[in-house]
Amino acid sequence: QEHGYATLLVESYSKFQIVGDVLEYNSNISEVSLIDPEWLQDILLSNPGITTVQLTSDGGDVLAAYPMAAVIADFGLDTHVEGDCVSACAFVFLGGLGRTMGNGARLGFHQTAWEADNMRIFYDEAQVDYGWGDAFDFAEWAYSDAVNDVVEELQFLLERGVDPVFAIRTLDATPDGMWFPSRSEMENAGGLRD
């Protein structure tokens, strides 16, 4: 068991590479974990010369993305994308003070999702703690929770200087789809800035 945890820590850390004043974060090396924001902060505290976080990721977990964006904003760092930075990664990107993309790089946005099997597991495990009498009580809670998530996402985008119409558009792509705005769309909406 301890060996498994040690392996997880090594894999988590391998996503981060320091190259000069750039901290590269590539979650395609090892999937995003909820410990990533802590790793990010520890690395930045130990390496005060870092000015930019470079991102490459096919997605992750918003529960890690928002705290990572907050760390990047707190340190006043720039963000830069090489390759794809999609789904939760786009929120990490928007934490940057300056936000740039390499040639051919893409940011991708889509709605979040909660699969039925995972909802069923959560319902079975949390029913007593939340006091749900039946699945309809859970559905009422889940609806309210989803609305809160949408509000949190829009609030985050607006706080990061993104145009409201663009922010709404980020919620338009279905969970199994992806919207890749053009560079000019990103620039006009305030998503990119030098």
pLDDT tens per residue across span 104-142: 999 999 988 889 999 999 999 999 999 999 999 999 999
Query: How far apart (Å, rounded) are the C-alpha atoms in residues 170 and 191?
Result: 11
- Which among 65, 59, 76, 30 is positioned nearest to 156, based on CA atoms? 65
pTM above 0.95, yes or no: no
Reported confidence tier of residue 5, pLDDT bands at 50, 70, 90: very low
- The answer to whether the CB of 166 falls within 8 A of the CB of 189 is yes
Please give the mean pLDDT across all residues of the chain. Answer: 91
Q: At what angle do helices 62-74 and 135-159 cross, to 10 degrees?
A: 30
